[in-house]
Every structure is written in structure tokens, then in C-alpha cells.
């Protein structure tokens, strides 16, 4: 029994919302958990378009206190970038990093991330 996957496009407005709240909503849609036919091992989620990423609201001092880390794989190669710097360079990257961390760590994650479009 083969079943064709019906993908739709859903739009999420990020204006006035916290990045984590937006990211959980996006991850749920990308994974397909909002559909009654959800099956954990099948990637049947929809495509997501995020608008107004530059109008996110940060609570507390997260914008200046939270850091993103990246290692170059060379000795002493731990690089740090503050959330404020990432947000100033590209507001959509804050959402992209949050969603990436919320999706399951398997072979479907990269395919799900390809269906995410962020507009500032």
C-alpha cells in the first residue's frame, strides 16, 4: 500500500513573538505532527514560509547573554558569536538555528530544513 504525500505551504508570522515559540510551531509543521496521518518514520510535513523575522521579541537579556558556538576542529578553534550579532547580521538565522535544534537528529532533518523559507 503506497501513500502519496500531500505537501502544502503554511505561513507563520513571527512579528511580536519569541523565537522559541515560533521555532516550536515551525518544527511541528515541518515534521508533520499537525496532520492526522503523522507517522514518526515518514517525512510528511509541509513547507513553511516565515515572515517578519526581523520583528522577533526577545525576553530578558537573552539577546546579549546567549552565545552560539562553532568549533573549527583545530586545536583552540572554539568560535563564539552572540545572539545579538547573529540577529543583526541575519534575523532569520536565529529562527533557523532554533528549528534545526528542535528537529529529530536523523536523515530527515536536512530534507525538512530545505522546506523552511525565512523572509526578513
Domains in the chain: ranges and CATH: 9-58+89-118 (3.90.1180.10)
β-bridge mates for residue 69, sequence order: 80
Q: What is the pTM of this model?
A: 0.92
Mean pLDDT of the chain: 95
Is 19:95 a contact under the CB 8 Å cutoff?
Answer: yes
Among 98, 120, 100, residue whose Cα is nearest residue 112: 100
Counted residue by residue, the chain has a size of 120
pLDDT attached to residue 120: 85
Which ranges of 11-108 does DSSP label H, i.e. alpha helix?
Answer: 19-31, 62-65, 83-89, 91-102
Q: Which triple of cell numbers denotes residue 119?
A: 523572509
64-112 pLDDT per residue, tens: 999 999 999 999 999 999 999 999 999 999 999 999 999 999 999 999 9
Is 86:18 a contact under the CB 8 Å cutoff?
Answer: no
Amino acid at each position: 500500500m503506497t501513500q502519496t504525500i500531500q505537501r502544502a505551504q503554511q505561513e507563520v508570522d513571527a512579528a511580536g513573538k519569541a523565537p522559541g515559540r515560533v521555532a516550536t510551531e515551525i518544527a511541528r509543521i515541518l515534521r508533520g505532527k499537525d496532520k492526522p496521518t503523522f507517522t514518526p518514520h515518514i517525512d510528511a510535513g509541509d513547507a513553511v514560509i516565515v515572515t517578519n523575522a526581523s520583528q522577533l521579541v526577545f525576553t530578558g537579556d537573552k539577546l546579549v547573554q546567549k552565545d552560539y558556538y562553532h568549533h573549527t576542529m583545530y586545536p583552540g578553534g572554539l568560535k563564539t558569536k552572540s545572539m545579538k550579532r547573529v540577529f543583526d547580521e541575519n534575523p532569520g538565522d536565529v529562527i533557523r538555528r532554533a528549528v534545526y535544534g528542535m528537529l529529530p537528529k536523523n536523515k530527515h532533518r536536512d530534507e525538512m530544513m530545505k522546506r523552511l523559507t525565512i523572509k526578513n
